[in-house]
Amino acid sequence: MTADKKHIAVIVNYFPTVSETFIVNQINSLMDSGYEVSFYTYHQVEAKVLHTSFKTHNLLDKVRYFVKPPKSRVKRFTVFVQWTFKHFKQIDWSLYFKTLNVFAYGKDAYTLKLFFEAQWFLVPYQADVIHAHFGMVGNRLAYLKAKGILPETLPLLTTFHGYDLEPNQLESYKGLYKHLFAQATAFTANTPYLEGLLNQVNCHRLPVYILPVGLDTDFFKRTKQKTDLSYFDLVFCGKLVPLKGPDIAIDVVKELHQRGFTQVRLHIIGSGEMHAQLEQQVQMNNLQEAVVFYNHLTQEAVKSRFQQADVFILPGRKDPENGRAETQGLVLQEAQSMELPVVVSDVGGMKYGLIDEETGYVVKEGDVDGFVNVIERLIKHPELKMAMGISGRQFVVGDYNNRFLTKKLLDIYTNLI
């Protein structure tokens, strides 16, 4: 690493999580570029399935976990004492005693809240930039800046991803994220859609950079051609929740069968609250032979499934409870990188992640016939499907590969320092 390379502290809420491998990919890309990265997480997760990307730089061994304060005052004090003895020779005593100053911080001090929140920064650490993923994580770090634990001059970049900015709750975020909007240096959002939501609550008009989530286009690259040509295979990949629209995908298959395209199958990758409902929907419509469920799959298995598919479908909708919609949907870029045309709805930020009528189609939310019509077109015109697949790969390699987006991120860091 050359002298001008900087040290980045990346802080997340949960680790390791299969659904957030994009963060791991980003960290791997930073390290591959020669940058020093410290990695912290507030919650340890027991993941049953781990992609190989987690092992690239042994992040499972390098991550630093948060020591949670017990609810019981006695147990909390015991953990506090244990932590103190464990780190006795490393502690920055001026900051340590600052967290305990009841005259300055009142309840936050005598309940040990400030101490526990500050624990990572009471011992030697390196950071030219702190990069927090998700608004609630950034707010916790901004709280430490507001209390003088983190230096005022230390840049705090916070990446919003979507569920941390629910459209129906925007007014409440002005209070919920009060420290963040007062102390952050800048934000990133993955699409113009999310940028628009953020700027509705970004009261201090801090800079917002659009930085999509990227992928390894060398990994998501077709190496085999589809072998079973007797079927036309659609693939859906995502959490089985209403905003992803897996039930709409099943309705699309039903309508295609009714139009005589009985060779169409749907492969559903993912798990979630709708699983039982979806299985019932399949049974009620006698589609047991046409719809296959896979639950969670590794990236390697997802890639394998994509190689045997014809079209990727993600008919998302606005969540009726909170107004949320898909903000980017990295899986759209993964599918295009595998030369699959993608068909998505026009809600949220998905429409920014493809070129309509060139690498796929954008269809009106909930318009089953609209989805069926464009898929029918791809069935009848295999040359169009192939051309869209090639264009999709070129589009993603040019705009979404990790190397390109890492350079954009490093440019953002440079602007902040």
Mean pLDDT in residue range 120-131: 96
- CB pairs under 8 A, 24+ apart, for 88-97? 90/123, 90/124, 91/122, 91/123, 92/121, 92/122, 92/123, 92/124, 95/121, 95/122, 95/149, 96/122
Mean pLDDT across the chain: 93
Residue 330 CB partners (closer than 8 Å, separation 6+): 22, 213, 215
| Res 115: pLDDT | 98
* DSSP β-bridge partners for residue 158: 132, 187
How far, in Å, CA of 38 to CA of 70, rounded?
Answer: 26
* DSSP β-bridge partners for residue 265: 233
Mean pLDDT in residue range 271-285: 97
Residue 333 CB partners (closer than 8 Å, separation 6+): 212, 214, 215, 353, 396, 400
State the pLDDT confidence band at 18, using cuts at 50, 70 and 90. low
H or E stretch at 129: strand 129-133
What is the token pair recorded at 186? 């800048």
| Res 55: pLDDT | 64
Cα dist from 114 to 47, 247, 400, whole Å: 30, 46, 39
How far, in Å, CA of 241 to CA of 319, rounded?
Answer: 9
| Res 87: pLDDT | 97
Residue 94 CB partners (closer than 8 Å, separation 6+): none
Mean pLDDT in residue range 204-223: 94
| Res 3: pLDDT | 45
| Res 19: pLDDT | 56
| Res 361: pLDDT | 98
Mean pLDDT in residue range 87-100: 97
What is the token pair recorded at 14? 């949960």
Residue 5 has pLDDT above 80, yes or no: no
Whether 18 and 47 have beta carbons less than 8 Å apart is answered as yes
Instruction: Describe the chain by its helix, strand, coil percentages, rounded to 5.
Output: 45, 15, 40
How far, in Å, CA of 71 to CA of 76, rounded?
Answer: 7
| Res 22: pLDDT | 78
Tens digit of pLDDT for each residue in 389-405?
A: 999 999 999 999 988 99
| Res 219: pLDDT | 93
What is the token pair recorded at 392? 């999709």
Mean pLDDT in residue range 317-325: 90
Residue 77 has pLDDT above 90, yes or no: yes
* Residue 66, Cβ density class (10 Å: 0-12 exposed, 13-18 middle, ≥19 buried): middle
How far, in Å, CA of 99 to CA of 104, rounded?
Answer: 9
Q: Tell me what percent of the residues of the chain surpass a pLDDT of 70.
A: 95
How far, in Å, CA of 26 to CA of 214, rounded?
Answer: 8
- The residue ranking higher by pLDDT, 370 or 25, is 370
Whether 364 and 356 have beta carbons less than 8 Å apart is answered as no
Whether 165 and 173 have beta carbons less than 8 Å apart is answered as yes
Residue 129 has pLDDT above 90, yes or no: yes
| Res 1: pLDDT | 36
| Res 78: pLDDT | 98
What is the token pair recorded at 114? 């400030």
- The residue ranking higher by pLDDT, 306 or 322, is 306
Q: Tell me what percent of the residues of the chain surpass a pLDDT of 90.
A: 82
Mean pLDDT in residue range 64-82: 96
Residue 295 has pLDDT above 90, yes or no: no
| Res 29: pLDDT | 85
Q: For the chain, how far is it from start to end, CA to CA, in angstroms?
A: 18
All domains of the chain in start order, with CATH? 7-214+401-416 (3.40.50.2000), 232-399 (3.40.50.2000)
State the pLDDT confidence band at 338, using cuts at 50, 70 and 90. very high
**Residue 39, number of CB atoms within 10 A of its CB:** 19
**Residue 156, number of CB atoms within 10 A of its CB:** 25
How far, in Å, CA of 333 to CA of 314, rounded?
Answer: 12
| Res 2: pLDDT | 43
Q: Nearest-CA neighbor of 233 among 139, 313, 115, 136?
A: 313
127-139: string of b/e by CB count within 10 Å (b at 16+)?
A: bbbbbbbbbbbbb
- Position of tokens 């980017």? 328
| Res 310: pLDDT | 98
